[in-house]
């Protein structure tokens, strides 16, 4: 299996893998689905981000606030989640996970391959 050093790449193009891979991240009431790209990663539109997570300071809060302000994150299906109004490309799996979970996160451990059930880190061990 091809080693994935990073879940995401840059430029919107899918990362080179032996097959198309979709990854899921399910924090509490949200379900995010995305795929690796050459230098980032795309999270698909849908109810995918928790409105409130840990009360601790968060490194990705400025990005999250910007996405809400720009309408990328909008009202979700209930009061506990935001929905991505459109597909959005993040620069790293950790930034995506931090915005989605509303807390600091180590993305490569949290995104799970929808076919194998493994994270990119778990697949490489």
Tell whether 112 is covered by a domain: no
* pLDDT for 121: 63
Q: What domain range is 10 assigned to?
A: 1-98
* pLDDT for 25: 85
Tell whether 82 is covered by a domain: yes
Tell whether 85 is covered by a domain: yes
Total domains in the fold of the chain: 1
Mean pLDDT of the chain: 77
Percent of the chain residues past pLDDT 90, beyond the cut = 22
Residue 21's Cα: distance from chain center in Å? Answer: 14
- pLDDT tens-digit readout, 37-83: 777 789 999 878 888 877 777 788 899 999 999 999 998 888 888 99
Tell whether 123 is covered by a domain: no
Tell whether 76 is covered by a domain: yes
- Which is higher by pLDDT, 120 or 75? 75
Q: Residue 108 corresponds to which tokens in the numbers above? A: 């490569």
Tell whether 44 is covered by a domain: yes
Q: Residue 37 corresponds to which tokens in the numbers above? A: 């790209």
Tell whether 109 is covered by a domain: no
85 touches 76 (CB < 8 A): no
Tell whether 23 is covered by a domain: yes
Percent of the chain residues past pLDDT 70, beyond the cut = 79
């Amino acid at each position: 299996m091809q080693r994935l050093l990073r879940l995401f790449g840059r430029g919107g193009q899918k990362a080179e893998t032996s097959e198309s891979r979709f990854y899921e991240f399910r924090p509490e009431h949200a379900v995010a689905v995305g795929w690796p790209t050459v230098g980032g990663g795309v999270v698909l539109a849908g109810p995918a981000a928790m409105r409130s997570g840990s009360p601790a300071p968060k490194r990705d809060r400025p990005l999250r606030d910007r996405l809400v302000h720009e309408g990328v994150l909008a009202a979700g299906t209930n009061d506990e989640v935001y929905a991505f109004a459109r597909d959005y490309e993040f620069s790293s799996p950790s930034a995506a996970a931090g915005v989605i979970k509303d807390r600091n996160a180590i993305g490569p451990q949290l995104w799970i391959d929808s076919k194998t059930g493994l994270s990119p880190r778990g697949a490489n061990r």
